[in-house]
Amino acid sequence: MVAKMSRKGVCWGNAPVEGFFNSLKREWTGDQLCKTRQHAMADVREYVAAQYKAKRQFSTLGYKTPMDYEKALNKVSGNILALHGFIDAFEPLAA
């Protein structure tokens, strides 16, 4: 992992990553230690799939989960494409 330093007076460079790791520690791992790097990676993947993307609501997404936001976005995108004749309105979008 490489540390990133923002310019003097610019404190937002790492804010999203710091927020993610804060949530990971607070909501998932706590003080738990992993015995191997593979176990730690699997645990983080499980957190992202089970908690972060599926259940956690984000203010920047209108207090929706990333999965719900993506579903709504795909529905709107599909409707726009159908309106312009690019796809059949009843054809499901490829995931």
Backbone angles phi, psi at 14, to 5 degrees: -105, 5
Q: What is the pLDDT of residue 79?
A: 65
Q: How far is CA 62 from the centre of its chain?
A: 14
Alpha carbon distance 47, 24 (integer Å): 7
Which of 26, 2, 24 has its CA nearest to residue 14? 2
Which residues of the chain register pLDDT less than 50? Answer: 89-91, 95
Task: Determine the pLDDT at residue 42.
Answer: 92
Has this prediction a pTM greater than 0.75? Answer: no
Neighbouring residues of 61: CB distance < 8 A, sequence distance ≥ 6: 69
Residue 29: the pLDDT is: 82
Stated length of the chain:
95
pLDDT value of position 90:
47
